[in-house]
Amino acid sequence: MKDSNSEKPSILNQIFNIIFKTNNSYLKIVKNLKLPSIFKKKYSLVILLLILFIFIFASTGSSVDTNIPVFNVKKDVFLISITESGEIKAKNSISIAAPRVRGSLKIVELVPEGNYVKPGDVVARFDPTEALVKLKDAEAQLEISRSNKAKLEANHQSEMAQMESDLKSAELSFELSKLSLEQMKFEAEAKRREAELQHNKNVLNFEKTKQNFESKKIIQKSEMENMNVEIRQKISELEKAQRDLDALSLTSSADGLVVYGMNWSTGLKFQIGDQPWSGQVIVNLPDLSQMESHTYVNEVDVSKVKVGQKVEVKLDAFQDSVFVGEVSNVARLGKQKDNQSTIKVFDVFVEIKGVSEILKPGMTTSNKIIIDKIDDQIFIPHEALFENEGEFFVYKKDGSGFDDIDVTIGNKSEDFIVVKSGLEDGDVVALRDPNKEIANENLVENNSVQMPENGN
């Protein structure tokens, strides 16, 4: 590679030739003019122009060098890391789900996300129209059953009164025939026989009436039990309808920050007007005392990530804040990154140490997972390393210019690469190719400065 200052002599030669030609024309012009003698000396213009051009050239060369960004090489701890974006989540949270009720659900009220709630506060309500209709119907059915019971009780009382009257009548007939039979002991055989038959008839009638009476009591008892069962069922249905109505108001069971659940039907968080399924989580109340960052690692890198590795967690909204974390879990099974991608990723959970008020669920994070640390290493940014035909080199600053130096490279990270040989602690290297910078500068000058033709 050529030194970036190697083109300067040829440029100076061209400048000198132009100066000497211009000087001859100048002397012819000022020869007959009334000017101080210093301006008529043979090389006066040459000296002035040389001073001017040297100043301009030196300034231009210096500006090119100073415009090239550089990196100060130093020996330090080299970090091998993987950086992935993620999202803040609470390690533990209380989930408030849609009630398991009959019929469809529609959200009509939601407490604003990010609000703090206390136990008993309502966080969501569902449309009660359908539940109210069912409640009214259950109330009506219970009233009908109770009315039927009252009617049945009245019928039973009437029937029992009749049965008691019939039983009493049969008993009286029985007693009369019994008495009459005793009085016929001294009557003729025919009359005695007639009285005996009548008595037997009354005995049978009395026994039959008693049986009917007992049977009727059993039947009435069964009918009343059935009616009571029906009423209890109606009461249960009414209570269920009331519970369903009450369940349409979701309340908080603890203090917490409201975070909406995900509506998998829309791919968005729940909002007013959505119709969730029973059991879907509508609101989460995270425990802000234990937070974690949920991120994903590509299948190519997941084998490098281990539980217990240190992580630097930054919030996109607060770049100045850095939190110390630790990998707490790495998923065993991969999944597609999204529906449009075939890339497989693995869930990685990073436990954040400490508590901070600025950590809130849903915040976007940058997670720098420290894979390894190597002490006393010389390393440079990737943009400071150049390659030519498989050979690696850098542009090391040397005075006002840069020299190309061959280097041997080692481990790589996302931003830096280790230099095993070729550089020392304290060296300064260019982050862009200085030859290209000078060439671009000369091209700009040639396009912007035009020499006069024919001395005009």
Q: Write out pLDDT tens, residues 12-35.
A: 566 667 666 666 666 666 666 665
Lowest mean pLDDT among 156-170, 190-204, 298-312, 353-367: 190-204
Lowest mean pLDDT among 83-97, 104-118, 434-448: 434-448
Residue 113 above 70 pLDDT?
yes
Residue 64 above 60 pLDDT?
no
Topology given in CATH for the domain delimited by 78-94+286-373:
Elongation Factor Tu (Ef-tu); domain 3 (2.40.30)
Report residue 227's pLDDT band, with 50, 70 and 90 as the boundaries: very high
Q: Three-state secondary structure along 277-329?
A: CCCCEEEEEECCCCEEEEEEEECCCHHHCCCCCEEEEEECCEEEEEEEEEEEE
Report residue 172's pLDDT band, with 50, 70 and 90 as the boundaries: confident
Percent of the chain with pLDDT over 70: 77
Q: Rounded to an integer, what distance in angstroms lies between the CA atom of residue 91 and that of residue 303?
A: 24
Three-class secondary structure of residue 56 per DSSP: helix
CATH top class, domain 95-127+249-285: mainly beta
Q: Report, as an integer, the average pLDDT of 4-8.
A: 45
Higher per-residue confidence, 353 vs 451: 353
Residue 416 above 50 pLDDT?
yes
What's the half-sphere exposure (Cβ side, CA atoms, 13 Å) at 184? Answer: 18
DSSP state, residue 384: G
Enumerate the domain spans of the chain.
8-74+377-448, 78-94+286-373, 95-127+249-285, 128-247
Contacts of 63 (CB under 8 A, 6+ apart): 441
Q: Rounded to an integer, what distance in angstroms lies between the CA atom of residue 235 and that of residue 144?
A: 12
Contacts of 84 (CB under 8 A, 6+ apart): 295, 296, 297, 348, 366, 367, 369
Q: Between 2.60.40.790, 3.20.20.70, 2.40.420.20, 2.40.40.20, what CATH number should domain 8-74+377-448 receive?
A: 2.40.420.20
Q: What is the chain's mean pLDDT, rounded?
A: 82
Please tell me which of 275-279, 358-362, 445-449 the model is most confident about, judged by mean pLDDT. 275-279
Q: Rounded to an integer, what distance in angstroms lies between the CA atom of residue 270 and that of residue 394?
A: 55
Contacts of 19 (CB under 8 A, 6+ apart): 45, 46, 49, 50, 53
Pairing state of beta strands 122-126 and 249-251? antiparallel
- What are the strands, taking DSSP E only, across 111-205? 116-117, 122-126
The span from the first CA to the last CA of the chain, in angstroms, equals 41
Per-residue pLDDT, 186: 61
Per-residue pLDDT, 28: 66
- Run of H or E including 136: helix 129-183
Q: Rounded to an integer, what distance in angstroms lies between the CA atom of residue 309 and that of residue 371?
A: 7
Residue 452 above 60 pLDDT?
no
Encode 274-299: b = buried (16+ Cβ within 10 Å), e = exposed. bebeeebbbbbbbebeebbbebbbee
Contacts of 309 (CB under 8 A, 6+ apart): 326, 327, 369, 370, 371
Lowest mean pLDDT among 206-210, 259-263, 300-304: 206-210
Q: Rounded to an integer, what distance in angstroms lies between the CA atom of residue 174 and that of residue 180?
A: 10
- Tell which residue, 377, 379, 388, has the closest CA to residue 433: 388
Q: Rounded to an integer, what distance in angstroms lies between the CA atom of residue 95 and that of residue 291?
A: 16
Q: Rounded to an integer, what distance in angstroms lies between the CA atom of residue 195 and that of residue 206?
A: 16
Beta bridge partners of 430: 70
- Tell which residue, 7, 71, 12, has the closest CA to residue 438: 7
Pairing state of beta strands 256-257 and 116-117? antiparallel
Higher per-residue confidence, 8 vs 183: 183
Per-residue pLDDT, 111: 94
Q: Report, as an integer, the average pLDDT of 431-436.
A: 86
- For 332-390, what is each residue's pLDDT tens digit? 999 887 777 788 999 999 999 988 888 888 899 999 999 998 999 999 999 999 998 88
Beta bridge partners of 377: 76
- Run of H or E including 416: strand 416-421
Per-residue pLDDT, 54: 61
Per-residue pLDDT, 62: 44
Per-residue pLDDT, 399: 82
Q: Report, as an integer, the average pLDDT of 419-445.
A: 78
Lowest mean pLDDT among 5-9, 92-96, 182-186: 5-9
Q: Report, as an integer, the average pLDDT of 189-217.
A: 76
CA distances to 135, 141, 358, 397 from 236, in Å? 11, 11, 49, 89
Length of the chain, in residues: 456
Higher per-residue confidence, 204 vs 393: 393
